[in-house]
């Protein structure tokens, strides 16, 4: 039932009975997405195109709805038949009282569903299906994060390699004046650390800002408020992981720099 803390006003068993009475009397409950798009609220009327023309139906509540894109209108079955000519039933909800053996009730329900070619699913099965879908989406997001780390690593490698190529002559001169291979390694590594120190903090801050702005825009696009959560530990792990990638990405350019031919480097332009 619509929550009194949200767009609707009903909460609890008695309030649910009152809402049921209003639905029987010809009012409707609309989804929050539909309310957002039509700029409607509790107490307004919904312009509904019926078989007898457009009718202004009083709105008894606003509720969250995650099916059919969140665009739903809940009404009593008899009014649905009268207004829209709806016939038949798409689904049944079976509520089991406390103390009833659910395991004993399932076999006759399965036999009945098999007879009329109906799918039988418990709340636990629906919950498991939803959790599996959510888990799949989470894994996909983690794969995208991993791909972003890989792309970032290629970017760092490319930047440092270009720096080494552009500094070939300078590195050759430094090797001639007794710069060791170890010092070349340190030079390229310091360049990588400078790039990481300059780009990672600002990138993390901008990422949090963009995530917050996108979260603020969710209600306008979906009609559902989603709480914005800030995870400092995740940001710290992201920073450390990205910094490690920067250091590892410096290995190939540093190795290339230490193998520069000194004579050829002096003629490099």
> Per residue in 15-33, pLDDT tens?
778 888 999 999 999 988 8
pLDDT, average across residues 210-232: 78
Bridge-based pairing state of the strands 28-31 and 53-63: parallel
pLDDT value at position 45?
A: 93
User: What is the C-alpha to C-alpha distance for residues 254 and 261, in angstroms, rounded to an integer?
Assistant: 14
In which band, very low, low, confident or very high, does the pLDDT at 171 lie, cut at 50, 70 and 90? confident
Half-sphere exposure of 169 (CA within 13 A, CB side): 5
pLDDT value at position 8?
A: 45
Q: What are the phi and psi torsion angles at 104 (to 5°)? A: -75, -25
- Asked which of 8-22, 94-108, 110-124, 170-184 is least confident by mean pLDDT, the reply is 8-22
pTM value surpassing 0.75:
no
Q: What is the percent of the chain where pLDDT is above 70?
A: 89
Which position has the higher pLDDT, 13 or 25?
Answer: 25
pLDDT value at position 64?
A: 81
Please state, as a whole number, how many other Cβ atoms lie within 10 Å of the Cβ of residue 3.
16
pLDDT value at position 5?
A: 40
Is residue 70 scored above 80 in pLDDT? no
Summarised one tens digit per residue, pLDDT across range 232-260 is 898 898 888 888 888 887 888 877 777 77
pLDDT value at position 245?
A: 83
**Residue ranges of domains in the chain, CATH in brackets:** 1-88 (2.40.40), 125-266 (no CATH)
Average pLDDT of the residues of the chain: 81
Is residue 230 scored above 70 in pLDDT? yes
Contacts of 215 by beta carbon, 8 Å cutoff, 6+ apart? 226, 228
pLDDT value at position 75?
A: 92
Return the beta strands (E) in 32-190 as ranges: 45-50, 53-63, 73-74
Which position has the higher pLDDT, 27 or 65?
Answer: 27
User: What is the C-alpha to C-alpha distance for residues 191 and 254, in angstroms, rounded to an integer?
Assistant: 10
Q: Tokens in use for 239?
A: 């920073």
pLDDT value at position 71?
A: 83
Contacts of 248 by beta carbon, 8 Å cutoff, 6+ apart? 153
């Amino acid at each position: 039932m619509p929550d009194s803390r949200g767009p609707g006003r009903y909460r609890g068993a008695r309030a649910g009975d009152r809402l049921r009475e209003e639905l029987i009397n010809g009012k409707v409950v609309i989804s929050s997405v539909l309310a957002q798009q039509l700029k409607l609220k509790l107490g307004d009327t919904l312009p509904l195109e019926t078989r007898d023309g457009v009718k202004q139906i009083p709105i008894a509540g606003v509720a969250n709805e995650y099916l059919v894109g969140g665009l739903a209108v809940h009404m009593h079955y008899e009014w649905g038949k009268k207004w829209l000519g709806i016939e038949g039933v798409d689904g049944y909800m079976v509520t089991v009282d406390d103390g009833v053996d659910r395991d004993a009730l399932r076999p006759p329900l399965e036999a009945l569903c098999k007879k009329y070619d109906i799918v039988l699913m418990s709340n636990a099965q629906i919950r498991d299906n939803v959790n599996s879908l959510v888990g799949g989406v989470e894994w996909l997001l983690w794969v995208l994060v991993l791909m972003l780390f890989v792309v970032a690593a290629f970017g760092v490698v490319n930047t440092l390699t270009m720096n080494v190529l552009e500094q070939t002559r300078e590195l050759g001169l430094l090797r001639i004046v007794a710069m060791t291979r170890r010092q070349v390694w340190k030079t390229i590594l310091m360049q990588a650390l400078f790039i990481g120190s300059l780009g990672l903090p600002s990138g993390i801050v901008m990422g949090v800002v963009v995530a917050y702005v996108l979260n603020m825009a969710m209600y306008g696009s979906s009609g559902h408020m989603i709480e914005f959560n800030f995870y400092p530990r995740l940001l710290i792990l992201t920073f450390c992981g990205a910094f490690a990638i920067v250091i590892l990405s410096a290995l190939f350019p540093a190795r290339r720099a230490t193998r520069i031919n000194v004579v050829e480097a002096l003629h490099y332009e």
